Chains A and B, each alone.
Chain A
Amino acid sequence: MGATTISDLARPSLTKGVRLQIDSTTGKSVLLYPEGIVELNETAHDILSRCDGRTLGEIICELAEEYEADSNAIAVDVRHTLSDLQRRNLIEFK
């Protein structure tokens, strides 16, 4: 699935076995999964901490509000981040 084709109604969630937590050494967010660790930037953290059953559309709206930014620009970033993580099997869409 390409970044632009993800529907606003899709509900992203962490793939089974993937955990989001704070790395107490750095204070940053990390994704932990079998044999792997991904350090997340703040935007990725803000997106992934909302992947709990909310739709993509809802996540984009909330972030646009929080960042006081244009929701079209936010949508591009969010889709890009999520499709990258989906390609690495770290998130899935339901």
Chain B
Amino acid sequence: MTVPRPYALLAEITYRCPLHCPYCSNPVAVESAVSSGKKAGATALRNHTTTHNGELTTQEWKRVINEAAALGVLQIGFSGGEPLARPDLAELIRPAREAKLYTNLITSGIGLDDDRLRALRDAGLDSIQLSFQSDESNLADEIAGAHAHKRKVDVAAKIRGAGIPLSLNFVIHGRNIDRLPQIIDLGEALGAERMELANVQFYGWAFRNRAALLPTREQVNRARDVATAAKARLAGKIDIFYVLPDYYETRPKPCLNGWGQRYLTVNPIGDVLPCPTASSAIPDLRFENVRARNLDWIWRESESFNRFRGTEWMPEPCQSCPQREIDFGGCRCQAALLTGNAALTDPVCEFSPNRARVDAVLRETNLSNRPHDWSYRNNPKPSPTSSSIALP
């Protein structure tokens, strides 16, 4: 099998976060994601107890960034958790930019003051994606589990002032989907160049909170019309990306454009993942760690990247399906979460023998009153030897 070159690296530099959004796709149990059966990661953890939860050091990230550039990566997203929780963020952006990567910061904005923003810009940051939870404080702060909304509005103005391109990212779910018109108005008012309106995908905390987050069919249909109209109205002014709620689709999303084809993720402790949610969704997959192997070997040779690469792994109905190189059988993590087997057709597909599992979830949501309680995302527990760094 010829191995393609990757285009984008998601650098999840920390799982620490000042927000507690119940839709977070980070692993619910970071401790177990860190240490379960992943020998390289677990060993690395024991040997690097001076950093937070075994997070990669500045030097280790610099090496990863250079290895990624050598492998062909053109874009890097600094994400988390909240990447601003790492004081060395600018030190990581600089070498990425020097390696000619396009640098994105994916942030809640909490902790982004003028000085920090200037430092990031001077390091060569190309673009900022700022998350919002809704269009106004009451609901937004309830979703975030923190007083964050007003600070985000201020931060958006500062980003504009610094001349850095601004995207607003909203995760859309049952509790904020009816506010979509006002959400789009907010993006317009804040002068965003780009808006990502992404219906929640059910991984990590979102999977745990699915009953409280899944919108009804009626809500979904209304939102789709709102997004379509806004896209047309704002064409040439704001690029609007509307990510469909895949449970309501009949064909699965072309997840990652195929496993191990274009993307790789390095998580805070250095495990290299074909997909950011794979470590929690697919427990039987063993991931390699950048402390033990270089990125080139991991991308080309590792079992985790090759397991679902190409089409040979596919079961029926994918194997004989004309769509198989269009949707690649959908999402491996979703197959694992809904059926217990990552090697099956994504159950969202109407031809999947497991589609009934998705329909049962939809039926429940569309018949009953939505439960309002959800579990807020926790922060990873600090390892005993480390003191925690307060967010600025």
List the interface of chain A (C-beta within 8 A of B): 15-17, 19, 21, 23-25, 30, 32-35, 37, 86-87, 89
| A21-B100, A33-B102, A86-B236 known, 14 other contacts, Cβ within 8 Å | A16-B163, A23-B74, A24-B72, A24-B100, A30-B74, A34-B104, A34-B127, A34-B129, A34-B165, A35-B75, A37-B74, A37-B75, A87-B235, A89-B236
Q: Which residues in chain B, 163-180, are within 8 Å of chain A measured between CB atoms?
A: 163-165, 167
By CB atoms of chain B within 10 A, which of A16, A17, A21, A23 has the most?
A17
Structural contact, B104 and A35, CB atoms closer than 8 A: yes
Give complex CA distance A15, B127 in Å.
12
Give complex CA distance A89, B164 in Å.
16
Give the interface residue-count category, chain B.
Answer: 20 to 34
CB neighbours (8 Å) of B75 from chain A are: 32, 35, 37
Is B193 interfacial (CB 8 A cutoff)? yes
Q: Which residue of A lies closest to B235 (CB)?
A: A87
CB neighbours (8 Å) of A32 from chain B are: 74-75, 102, 126
Give complex CA distance A86, B237 in Å.
11
Q: Chain B 321-335 against A: per-residue CB contact (8 Å), 1 yes, 0 no? A: 000000000000000
CB neighbours (8 Å) of B5 from chain A are: 25
Give complex CA distance A86, B239 in Å.
12
Is B7 interfacial (CB 8 A cutoff)? yes
Q: Which residue of B lies closest to A86 (CB)?
A: B236
Structural contact, A34 and B167, CB atoms closer than 8 A: yes
Q: Which residue of A lies closest to B73 (CB)?
A: A25
CB neighbours (8 Å) of A30 from chain B are: 74
CB neighbours (8 Å) of B167 from chain A are: 34-35
Give complex CA distance A80, B239 in Å.
20
Give complex CA distance A30, B72 in Å.
13
Is B194 interfacial (CB 8 A cutoff)? yes
What's the least CB distance linking B88 to chain A, in Å? 23
Structural contact, A17 and B74, CB atoms closer than 8 A: no
What's the least CB distance linking A28 to chain B, in Å? 11
Give complex CA distance A32, B127 in Å.
11
Give complex CA distance A23, B235 in Å.
29
By CB atoms of chain B within 10 A, which of A32, A34, A35 has the most?
A34
What's the least CB distance linking B243 to chain A, in Å? 11
List the 3 closest pairs (A to B, CB-CB), nearest first: A17-B165, A32-B102, A25-B72
What's the least CB distance linking A3 to chain B, in Å? 14
CB neighbours (8 Å) of B102 from chain A are: 19, 32-34
What's the least CB distance linking B9 to chain A, in Å? 13
What's the least CB distance linking A10 to chain B, in Å? 14
Give complex CA distance A77, B21 in Å.
48
Structural contact, A17 and B127, CB atoms closer than 8 A: yes
Q: Which residue of B lies closest to A18 (CB)?
A: B165
CB neighbours (8 Å) of A87 from chain B are: 235-236
- Point out the residue from A16, A24, A37 that lies within 8 Å of B193, measured CB to CB: A16
Structural contact, A34 and B74, CB atoms closer than 8 A: no
8 interchain pairs, CB-CB under 8 A = A17-B127, A32-B75, A34-B129, A35-B196, A37-B7, A37-B75, A89-B193, A89-B239
CB neighbours (8 Å) of A33 from chain B are: 102, 127
Q: Chain B 272-294 against A: per-residue CB contact (8 Å), 1 yes, 0 no? A: 00000000000000000000000
Q: Which residues in chain B, 68-83, are within 8 Å of chain A measured between CB atoms?
A: 72, 74-75
CB neighbours (8 Å) of B236 from chain A are: 86-87, 89
Structural contact, A17 and B7, CB atoms closer than 8 A: no
